[in-house]
Amino acid sequence: MSAKQKRFFLSEDEIPRYWYNIQADMVNKPMPPLNPQTKEPLKPEDLYPIFAKELCHQELDQENAWIEIPEPVREYYKYWRSTPLVRAYGLEKALGTPAHIYFKNESVSPIGSHKLNSAIPQAYYCQQEGVTNVTTETGAGQWGAALSYAAKLFGLEAAVYQVKISYEQKPYRRSIMQTFGAQVTPSPSMSTRAGKDILTQTPNHQGSLGTAISEAIELARTTPNCKYTLGSVLSHVSLHQTIIGLEAEKQMEMAGEYPDIVIGCFGGGSNFAGISFPFMRHTIKDGRKTRYIAAEPASCPKLTRGKFQYDFADEAGYTPLLPMYTLGHKFAPANIHAGGLRFHGAGVIVSQLLKDGLMEAVDIPQLETFETGCLFARAEGIIPAPESCHAIAAAVREAKKCIETGEEKVILFNLSGHGLVDMASYDQYLAGNLMNYSLPDEMIEKSLES
Amino acid sequence: MSAKQKRFFLSEDEIPRYWYNIQADMVNKPMPPLNPQTKEPLKPEDLYPIFAKELCHQELDQENAWIEIPEPVREYYKYWRSTPLVRAYGLEKALGTPAHIYFKNESVSPIGSHKLNSAIPQAYYCQQEGVTNVTTETGAGQWGAALSYAAKLFGLEAAVYQVKISYEQKPYRRSIMQTFGAQVTPSPSMSTRAGKDILTQTPNHQGSLGTAISEAIELARTTPNCKYTLGSVLSHVSLHQTIIGLEAEKQMEMAGEYPDIVIGCFGGGSNFAGISFPFMRHTIKDGRKTRYIAAEPASCPKLTRGKFQYDFADEAGYTPLLPMYTLGHKFAPANIHAGGLRFHGAGVIVSQLLKDGLMEAVDIPQLETFETGCLFARAEGIIPAPESCHAIAAAVREAKKCIETGEEKVILFNLSGHGLVDMASYDQYLAGNLMNYSLPDEMIEKSLES
């Protein structure tokens, strides 16, 4: 029992007023996305039909390191930001580690995850440009819930295509979106040409992020004043998420420490980018020695076992070609419960950083993530989202190394969300019904070839 | 869009170090609980077999206005306290009211509700007295989840009897308790004499708080080093919850305002007590004119339509006789979704305060609570628990009156919990499947007679 401070907050006027665009500081810039027909590098204008213009510019901006957060966005950030930086005394004690473990608690967002950090500016820029309707896809439903709420804040209509199997398995997430007033459609649906094609070719198709992306893009393209939005992978989403690390940097200063290791779980990359990029600028610019670890599922290991190459972001191949670590856009990940990490590719910035050795990646088997989730829940009181359990597991691995070496390393990880809407997966774990998935090399090779 | 401050926090050293015991300041003290056999007033010792000794003394303490919060409890409070006091700019705008609406956001607790405020000291006192096992009952599961986590913090084994219908209908809440390591048994069960009696007399009995209380008390009585714990109704639970109002008082000062109206939803009374008693002391001692409104469900209206009389707290009549507003301990409330408010009686302190005209009560029909819950979710981003929707609905009624009168009244309510584990009930509401329940006077009379 210690009287030392547990949680660190910023006052509202200390909340950062700029996002950090790491592209401006990178020595090796990310390679450009390509038009799949012409193979020409994309210009912002090429993306105008799909995204709000301001977001298209943010996406490809390699000049400006600091992008001002619009005032209305900052006003809504105040609804839950700053999120607490927490010293995990309970977890340290449970492990018996000399390490100092901190986590940034993004689960306190109204939606329960970090996704709102980007949903609000995306909805804002759309509204500013006269857009009235937004579309998106969602798998587990975290992003869909965030966008539904953000759309409501700016008076926009939201239409969400939710992967059909998830729509049926996670009715609570659907209800959350509907409570915020969004229209939710299970994908594939008969409401789009893409959906019809899929359902006539493959009746009873259970849906995937690929089908949902195709439907959401098609709806945006065929509807006046309607834009598409995405919850991860893209560089402008990572940009918005840097509010996490920028706050954490100030809060670590309040705690009188600086992280030796920064950890985030990894799906498309935006949550990892959010916690790590603001610290990484000191590594890039001042040579500060900090390790950055992305924690991905062993069953979807694009960073640890994928290839760096140009690939599509969706199964149907509607998106631009992106230079990224990928398992192939036809890769079908095992049905693990961390739905938010079941994506075949990594964002272009993170891919370049990994290629350049500025960061590391580890893959975590499913059972280890839930074991760690239960340990964390009992020690810190917060039941973590299955996705976030990957970051905690990586942090616990590092903290256990410190037991052996006796080092008081400072470990910071991002708790991207809580698991209160994912209890069915904990239920399965506690009942002994979950398993690890082995992924033979041949499966990855095959997927990359197709 | 305003640049005014949205949320107010206390630093860790500003978190109150004492709970407030309103019994000491009340002019008319609560009447004593009675031994049902002898009809003699209870002494603390009479409760020793059931509760930790310190809690027995707190229960009947009418002398000490301030009870020190033990340091280990304060250390764990820091895991999520202070909770934010929030200015509901979004809700004010949605209503177009000149009222200033504030809410204390207890939903940010790891468990998602205020229940942890009492679970932690209850587990602490048990552990201090050498208790190794704790039991309790839970209906909706909020209290059971809080106790499960608190027990784990102090190394205690927790056994929770969950009302059988709720055990089956709300598997997520059960999983939360199990994730924290508790044993959860649907009640009535064959594991106790009380349970066996009920199940042989009424096969397929769906359970009630009454059956679960009986089983939990029996287990505590028949197990060495085992005590029973309760999540509301009792005076020591209300005492622990005053941390809410004590924080809110300091935070309102930071906001430069003082509430004209303080509102809490009402089940057994502890959450209402928590937000209102610290303010009420200024009404009792200094004559400060503030209105205190308890918001109860129209289908379980003990405050607005019950009688003040001695009654049991459980259906089987195992508990002491309590002087309280009650609908009769055999009252079977309609199956509304605010499971935490489905209790036939009110705590003894609140009952006396209502009798003495120091507070008011309103009853809210179910559909109005969900309508208000959706309005609040879209305006403030937080999906409220069905229980908390009662408090919001009462606040909205008052804020609407201000539209007519033009008064800038300051309204404070307690957001006791979020609704993320209650989405099935929102789903039912949005699908048009919920209804209001009418409760004829004769039903109440009949229940009070039996």
Long-range contacts of A36-41, Cβ-Cβ distance < 8 Å, separation of 24 or more? A36/A312, A36/A317, A36/A319, A36/A320, A36/A321, A39/A321
Asked if B415 has any chain A CB less than 8 Å from its own CB, the reply is no
Chosen from B337, B423, B428 to mutate, greatest number of chain A CBs within 10 A: B423
Asked if A112 has any chain B CB less than 8 Å from its own CB, the reply is yes
pLDDT at A412: 98
What's the N-to-C CA distance of chain A in angstroms? 57
How large is the ipTM? 0.88
pLDDT at B318: 80
pLDDT at B1: 39
Checking if the pLDDT of B422 tops 70, the result is yes
Helix (H) / strand (E) element for B20: namely strand B18-20
Q: Determine the average pLDDT of the residues in B40-54.
A: 95
Q: What distance in Å separates the CA atoms of residue A315 and residue A439, rounded to the nearest whole number?
A: 20
Task: Say yes or no: A198 and A216 in one domain.
Answer: yes
Of A71, A108, A112, the CB nearest to B420: A112
Q: Determine the average pLDDT of the residues in A39-49.
A: 94
Chosen from A4, A8, A71, A80 to mutate, greatest number of chain B CBs within 10 A: A80
Peptide bond into A235 cis (omega under 30): no
Checking if the pLDDT of A79 tops 70, the result is yes
pLDDT in tens, A178-211: 999 999 999 999 999 989 998 999 898 888 887 8
Of B110, B171, B374, the CB nearest to A179: B374
Query: Considering the domain boundaries, does residue A24 fall inside one?
Result: no
pLDDT in tens, B78-129: 999 999 999 999 999 999 999 999 999 999 998 899 999 999 999 999 999 9
Task: Say yes or no: B213 and B101 in one domain.
Answer: no
Chosen from B371, B420, B421 to mutate, greatest number of chain A CBs within 10 A: B420
B172 contacts A382? CB cut-off 8 A: no
Of B2, B382, B424, the CB nearest to A110: B382
Split into its structural domains, chain B has a count of 2
Chain B contact set for A175 (CB, 8 A): 423-424, 426-427, 430
Strand stretches in B274-398, DSSP E: 291-297, 307-312, 321-326, 360-364
Task: Say yes or no: A366 and A428 in one domain.
Answer: yes
Give the pLDDT band of residue B450 (cuts 50, 70, 90): confident
Query: Considering the domain boundaries, does residue A267 fall inside one?
Result: yes
Checking if the pLDDT of B335 tops 80, the result is no
At A37, is the secondary structure helix, strand, or coil?
coil
Q: Determine the average pLDDT of the residues in B146-160.
A: 96
Angle at the Cα of B83 from the Cα atoms of A20 and B67, rounded to 5 degrees: 150
Checking if the pLDDT of A1 tops 70, the result is no
Cβ under 8 Å to B: A residues 264-283: none
B180 contacts A378? CB cut-off 8 A: yes
Helix (H) / strand (E) element for A414: namely strand A410-415
Task: Say yes or no: B105 and B118 in one domain.
Answer: no
A111 contacts B381? CB cut-off 8 A: yes
Cβ under 8 Å to A: B residues 417-436: 420-421, 423-424, 426-427, 430
Q: Determine the average pLDDT of the residues in A405-425.
A: 95
> For residue A99, which of A380, A414, A405 has the smallest C-alpha distance?
A405
* Smallest CA–CA distance from A4 into chain B, residue: B75
A378 contacts B172? CB cut-off 8 A: no
- Which of A166, A200, A235 is the last residue in one of the domains? A235
Give the pLDDT band of residue B2 (cuts 50, 70, 90): very low
Instruction: Give whole-number Cα distances, B286 to B62, B107, B279, in Å.
Output: 19, 32, 11
A171 contacts B424? CB cut-off 8 A: yes
A180 contacts B377? CB cut-off 8 A: yes
Asked if B41 has any chain A CB less than 8 Å from its own CB, the reply is no
pLDDT at A260: 98
Instruction: Give whole-number Cα distances, A362 to A30, A247, A291, A303, A338, in Å.
Output: 22, 25, 12, 8, 16
Task: Say yes or no: B342 and B220 in one domain.
Answer: no
Chain B contact set for A127 (CB, 8 A): none
> Domain span at residue B48?
43-66+114-235
Identify which of A20-24, B35-39, B197-201 has the greatest average pLDDT.
A20-24
**In B328-438, alpha helices (H):** 348-355, 366-380, 386-405, 423-430
Task: Say yes or no: B336 and B394 in one domain.
Answer: yes
Count Cα neighbours of B78 within 13 Å in the Cβ-side half-sphere.
25
Task: Say yes or no: B171 and B256 in one domain.
Answer: no
- Which of B184, B209, B235 is the last residue in one of the domains? B235
Chain B contact set for A107 (CB, 8 A): none
Residue A151 amino acid letter: A
A382 contacts B430? CB cut-off 8 A: no
Cβ under 8 Å to B: A residues 353-382: 373-374, 377-378, 380-382
pLDDT at B337: 82
Of A72, A179, A423, the CB nearest to B1: A72
pLDDT at A445: 93
B430 contacts A178? CB cut-off 8 A: yes
Asked if B254 has any chain A CB less than 8 Å from its own CB, the reply is no
Q: What distance in Å separates the CA atoms of residue B37 and residue A59, rounded to the nearest whole number?
A: 76
pLDDT at A129: 96
Give the pLDDT band of residue A331 (cuts 50, 70, 90): confident
Q: Determine the average pLDDT of the residues in A378-406.
A: 97
> In this prediction, what percent of chain B has a pLDDT beyond 70?
99
> For residue B379, which of A76, A71, A153 has the smallest C-alpha distance?
A153
Chain A contact set for B107 (CB, 8 A): none
* Smallest CA–CA distance from B384 into chain A, residue: A110
Task: Say yes or no: B202 and B335 in one domain.
Answer: no
Q: Are strands A410-415 and A261-265 parallel, antiparallel or unpaired?
A: parallel
CB atoms within 10 A of CB A204: 7
Q: Determine the average pLDDT of the residues in B315-329.
A: 90
What tokens does B203 get?
């096969």
> For residue A58, which of A2, A15, A19 has the smallest C-alpha distance?
A19
Task: List for chain A the helix, strand, coil content (%; round to 5).
Answer: 45, 20, 35
Query: Considering the domain boundaries, does residue B242 fall inside one?
Result: yes
Q: Are A176 and B423 in contact (CB under 8 A)?
A: yes
Asked if A171 has any chain B CB less than 8 Å from its own CB, the reply is yes
Task: Say yes or no: A199 and A298 in one domain.
Answer: no
pLDDT in tens, B383-393: 999 999 999 99
* Smallest CA–CA distance from A79 into chain B, residue: B6
pLDDT at A367: 97
Q: What distance in Å separates the CA atoms of residue A391 and residue A397, rounded to the nearest whole number?
A: 10
Looking up residue B153, the CATH number of its domain turns out to be 3.40.50.1100
Chain B contact set for A5 (CB, 8 A): 12, 78
**For tokens 């209160």, what's the residue?**
A420
> For residue A227, which of A304, A321, A147 has the smallest C-alpha distance?
A147
Asked if B12 has any chain A CB less than 8 Å from its own CB, the reply is yes
Cβ under 8 Å to B: A residues 144-163: 149, 152-153
pLDDT at B345: 94
Q: What distance in Å separates the CA atoms of residue A409 and residue A388, rounded to the nearest whole number?
A: 21
Query: Considering the domain boundaries, does residue A375 fall inside one?
Result: yes
Q: Determine the average pLDDT of the residues in A267-294.
A: 97
Q: What is the CA radius of gyration of chain A?
A: 20
- Which of A191, A213, A235 is the last residue in one of the domains? A235
A381 contacts B80? CB cut-off 8 A: yes
Residue B135 amino acid letter: T
Q: Determine the average pLDDT of the residues in A424-429.
A: 92
Q: Determine the average pLDDT of the residues in A127-147.
A: 94
Query: Considering the domain boundaries, does residue B2 fall inside one?
Result: no
**For tokens 């009070």, what's the residue?**
B448
Chain B contact set for A427 (CB, 8 A): 171-172, 174-175, 178
Task: Say yes or no: A388 and A416 in one domain.
Answer: yes
Query: How far is A321 from chain B, CA to nearest CA, in Å?
Result: 36
Average pLDDT taken over every residue of chain A = 94
B176 contacts A380? CB cut-off 8 A: no
Chain B contact set for A111 (CB, 8 A): 381
Checking if the pLDDT of A84 tops 70, the result is yes
pLDDT in tens, B266-286: 999 999 999 999 999 999 999
Sheet with strand B100-105: strands edge to edge: B7-8, B85-87, B100-105, B410-415, B261-265, B291-297, B360-364
Task: Say yes or no: B208 and B186 in one domain.
Answer: yes
Checking if the pLDDT of B446 tops 80, the result is yes
Query: Considering the domain boundaries, does residue A20 fall inside one?
Result: no
> For residue A418, which of A80, A39, A148, A32 has the smallest C-alpha distance?
A80
What's the N-to-C CA distance of chain B in angstroms? 57
pLDDT at A3: 60
Query: Considering the domain boundaries, does residue B418 fall inside one?
Result: yes
Average pLDDT taken over every residue of chain B = 94
Task: Say yes or no: A191 and A241 in one domain.
Answer: no
**In B38-192, alpha helices (H):** 44-47, 53-60, 71-77, 89-95, 116-128, 142-153, 164-169, 171-179
pLDDT at B3: 60
Give backbone dihedrals phi and psi of B300, rounded to 5 degrees, phi first: -140, 65
What tokens does B338 get?
């605010």
Query: Considering the domain boundaries, does residue B264 fall inside one?
Result: yes
Give backbone dihedrals phi and psi of B246, rounded to 5 degrees, phi first: -65, -40
